[in-house]
Amino acid sequence: MSDIREVSVDELRHLVSDRALSGETMLLNMGPQHPSTHGVLRLLLELDGEIVVNVVPDIGFLHTGVEKNMESKTYQKAEVMVDRLDYMNTVGNNLVYCLAFEKLAELDVPPRAQAIRVILAEIQRISSHLLWLGTSAMDIGAMSTFLYGMREREMAMDIFELVSGQRMMTTFIRPGGIWRDVPVEFEAAVRGFLKEMPRRIQEYEDLLLTNEIWLDRTKGIGVITQEECLQYSLSGPVLRATGLAHDLRKKQPYMGYDQYDFRIPTRTEGDVFARYRVRVEEMTESLKIIEQALNKLPVGPVKSNNRKYVPPPRAELGVNMEAMIHHFKIWTEGFKPPVGHVYTAAESPRGELGVYMESDGSGKPYRVHYVTPTFANLQAMPIMSRNQYIADLIGVIGSIDIVLGDADR
C-alpha cells in the first residue's frame, strides 16, 4: 500500500475557476458510467445553475496498452490488436495499419484487393455513421432511430461475416492485400445493401429532418468555429461542418480513391445539426463509391506477389521448397521490413486516423502509434460546450461521435 501516491486536491485546482472554490458554481461528476457518454468517459462539469461553465474530460478508463503490447508481437499478430482500438471502424484500423506497413516495406497491392478494401472501408463508414445516428438521436430522445440504425447496421455486419467469418473484428485486410478473395455471394450481398440503403436513409430523414424536437435540440448547439478547429487539429465531420472541405480521401488519395467520383459534403454552421447533416450526406456519398468500385471490380490476384511479406498459397507448399521456407520464415520470425519510420493517415468515419510506425529491421514493430481522431475531437469538447445548458452537453458529446476505445487506446 505504501507506494500508492495520494493525489492532492491542489494538483487539480487549476482545472476549475475561482468561483468553484467559493461555492458560487457547482462541481458535478458525469460518468464514467453514464448512458450518454458512449462508453467510459468521465466529465468534470463546473455548473452555474444549469449553464456549463467548464468541462474537464477525463479519459483513460479504456486504456488497454495496445501500443506497448504491439511492440512484443510480430507484425501479423500486432495487426489483430488494432481492430479493438476504434471498435466502430475495425476495417479502417486494419487498412491504415496495412497502408503504413506497405509504405514501410514498399509493397504493392493488386487492384482487385484495393477495390475490395475500398468497398469494405466504405461499408464500415456507413455502419459507423448508422450507429452514430442511432445513439446520438437516442441521447436526445428519439428512440426509434436507434432501432432503425441497428437494423441496417446488421446488413453491413452480415457482409463482413460473409467475407471474413467475423462480424466486427475482421482483420480481413492484411499487409500486401487481403486475407482471401471474396466469395461469389459477395457481389449480390453488396448490391442488395446498395439497393436497400437509399430508401432507409430517406426513412431517417423523414424521422429527423422535420422533427421539431430534433431541430430544437441540435440547431445552434455546440458551435465551434473553423479557426478553433484548425488550432485543435480537428478533422473529419466536425471540421467539414464548419465549411472546410477537407477529406484525406480527396486530398491525399490512397487505395485508388482518386478513381471514384464523389463529393465532400460540407456545412458552414459548425453546430450539432451541421455535423448531423454532413454525416448523413456522407452515407450517400459512400454508397456512390461502393457502387463505382463494385461496377469495375477488377479480376486478378488479391495479394501481393512479394514472398518476403506475403505467405505463399497453400497449394505451393507441397511442391515448392522455396515456398515452404518462406512460409516457415513468415510464420515463425515474422516479416522484416527495412529500418525506418513512416507516418500514414487515412480518413476514418471520425477524421484523420494516422499511424506512426517505426521498424528496427526485426520481425516486431519497434514502435506503433495510433493518431486517433476521437482524442483530438474530445480535446475540443470544452470549447463546444461552454455556456450551453447541461442538457445540450449530451447532444454535443453525441455529435462529435466519440469512441472511447479510439481515444484511450
Q: Residues in the site for another protein, rule: CB under 8 A?
A: 1, 3-7, 11-12, 14-15, 59-60, 63, 65, 67-69, 71-72, 103-104, 106, 230-234, 244, 246, 251-252, 340-343, 345, 352, 354, 356, 358, 366-367, 369, 371, 375-376, 378-380, 408-409
Q: Give the span between the Cα atoms of 141 and 305, in whole angstroms.
A: 52
> Is residue 35 packed enough to be buried (19+ CB in 10 Å), middle (13-18) or exposed (0-12)?
exposed
Q: Minimum CB separation from another protein for residue 230, in Å?
A: 5
Q: Minimum CB separation from another protein for residue 355, in Å?
A: 10
Q: Minimum CB separation from another protein for residue 373, in Å?
A: 10
Q: Give the span between the Cα atoms of 271 and 281, in whole angstroms.
A: 16
Q: Minimum CB separation from another protein for residue 182, in Å?
A: 30
Closest by CA to 376, choosing from 258, 231, 184, 173, is 231
What the block records as the C-alpha cell of 14 is: 487549476
By C-beta, is 1 or 315 nearer to another protein?
Answer: 1
By C-beta, is 375 or 389 nearer to another protein?
Answer: 375
R_g over Cα of the chain: 23
Residues pairing with 371 in the sheet:
354
Q: Minimum CB separation from another protein for residue 137, in Å?
A: 28
Q: Give the span between the Cα atoms of 73 and 89, in whole angstroms.
A: 22
Question: Which residues neighbour 318 within 8 Å (Cβ) at sequence distance 6 or greater?
Answer: none
Question: Which residues neighbour 339 within 8 Å (Cβ) at sequence distance 6 or greater?
Answer: 359, 360, 361
Q: Minimum CB separation from another protein for residue 125, in Å?
A: 20
What the block records as the C-alpha cell of 207 is: 424521422
Q: Give the span between the Cα atoms of 151 and 162, in whole angstroms.
A: 17
By C-beta, is 327 or 409 nearer to another protein?
Answer: 409
Q: Minimum CB separation from another protein for residue 29, in Å?
A: 15
Residues pairing with 55 in the sheet:
45
By C-beta, is 191 or 251 nearer to another protein?
Answer: 251
By C-beta, is 288 or 369 nearer to another protein?
Answer: 369
First to last CA, the chain: 28
Q: Give the span between the Cα atoms of 31 and 15, in whole angstroms.
A: 17
Tell me the H-state helices in 39-165: 66-70, 75-82, 90-105, 111-140, 143-164
By C-beta, is 103 or 308 nearer to another protein?
Answer: 103
The two beta strands, 26-30 and 340-348, are: unpaired
Q: Minimum CB separation from another protein for residue 197, in Å?
A: 31
Other CB atoms within a 10 A radius of the CB of residue 238 amount to: 27
Q: Minimum CB separation from another protein for residue 210, in Å?
A: 35
By C-beta, is 116 or 380 nearer to another protein?
Answer: 380
By C-beta, is 7 or 321 nearer to another protein?
Answer: 7
DSSP string, 209-245: TT-HHHHHHHTT-S---HHHHHHTT--THHHHTTT--
By C-beta, is 145 or 372 nearer to another protein?
Answer: 372
By C-beta, is 203 or 228 nearer to another protein?
Answer: 228
Q: How many helices (H) and strands (E) does the chain have?
A: 18, 8
Q: Minimum CB separation from another protein for residue 257, in Å?
A: 14
